[in-house]
Amino acid sequence: MLESERPKLIGENGLRHDGRRIDELRPVKMEVGILTNASGSAYVEFGKTRVIAAVYGPREPPQKYMVLPHRAVLRCRYHMAPFSTDERKNPAPSRREIELSKVAREALEPVILSELFPRTSIDIFIEVISADGGTRTAALNAASLALADAGIPMRDLVAAVAVGKVEGHLILDVDQVEDNYGEADMPVAVAPSLNAVTLLQLNGVLSSSEFSEAFKLALKGIGEIYRLQKETLRNKYLVKVE
């Protein structure tokens, strides 16, 4: 790519291409209970990244050979709708989607009390309906809300965000342009009350001090997301006494 084609990602005023500060999330929206046919569901939006998660179960697994005698089996499908990208995406699951389904399952497994539901399966379907960077982290935020909405006992919620580096600056909540042209992209998922990291990936290069700073920035964003997740659940389920 010619240097002249590279978009300017941080302006003279220190703001990003969409007007955000470097430590600012995109506008976030969350809603639970959006689907009637699933046990639990959620909608999560980070700017133009929009994701739906649906949970079924605990239920008898469709395939009997899957059952485990001591706990529920967690199954997870991450999928991008054909209309979620600028060019129609092939609806068949790509290698990336198969990998992200596994990554999402492993990031959620530690918070689910699956030992309470032996011989059952808990199925999580994640559908990206609009992709503009950070779909795996939006997916985890939505899936964790959908699990709670399904009434599945959990040790904690999982809250997630990607941090990155563009033009030498560490930034919170990386969007697609920043992901495409930036130097690094690091998705992080945390179960805040358990003080546990359930996902940490890094695409690109960060020095060890940049890594520490980037991780702190992710925790700051995750704190805000976790507060919004709890507020969303409270607004739906807390009985208001007048």
Which parts of this chain interact with ligand ADP (CB under 6 A)?
85, 89, 96, 131-136, 162, 176, 179, 185, 187
Q: Can you name the residues that pair with 79 across neighbouring β-strands?
A: 127
* Alpha carbons within 13 A on the beta-carbon side of 177: 12
User: Rounded to the nearest whole angstrom, what is the least distance from the CB of residue 132 to ligand ADP in the complex?
Assistant: 5
Distance CA 35, CA 64 (A): 27
**Closer CB to ligand ADP, 88 or 155, in the complex:** 88
**Closer CB to ligand ADP, 84 or 121, in the complex:** 84
User: Rounded to the nearest whole angstrom, what is the least distance from the CB of residue 84 to ligand ADP in the complex?
Assistant: 8
**Closer CB to ligand ADP, 94 or 235, in the complex:** 94
Cα–Cα distance list, 49 to 43, 64, 128, 234 (Å): 11, 36, 8, 24
User: Rounded to the nearest whole angstrom, what is the least distance from the CB of residue 69 to ligand ADP in the complex?
Assistant: 35
- Residue pair 60/117 in contact (Cβ under 8 Å)? The answer is no
**Closer CB to ligand ADP, 143 or 152, in the complex:** 143
* Alpha carbons within 13 A on the beta-carbon side of 181: 16
CB atoms within 10 A of CB 91: 11
DSSP 38-75: SSEEEEEEETTEEEEEEEEEEE--SSGGG--SSSPEEE
User: Rounded to the nearest whole angstrom, what is the least distance from the CB of residue 66 to ligand ADP in the complex?
Assistant: 27
User: Rounded to the nearest whole angstrom, what is the least distance from the CB of residue 235 to ligand ADP in the complex?
Assistant: 27
**41, 74, 76: which is closest to 58 by C-alpha?**
74
**Closer CB to ligand ADP, 99 or 231, in the complex:** 99
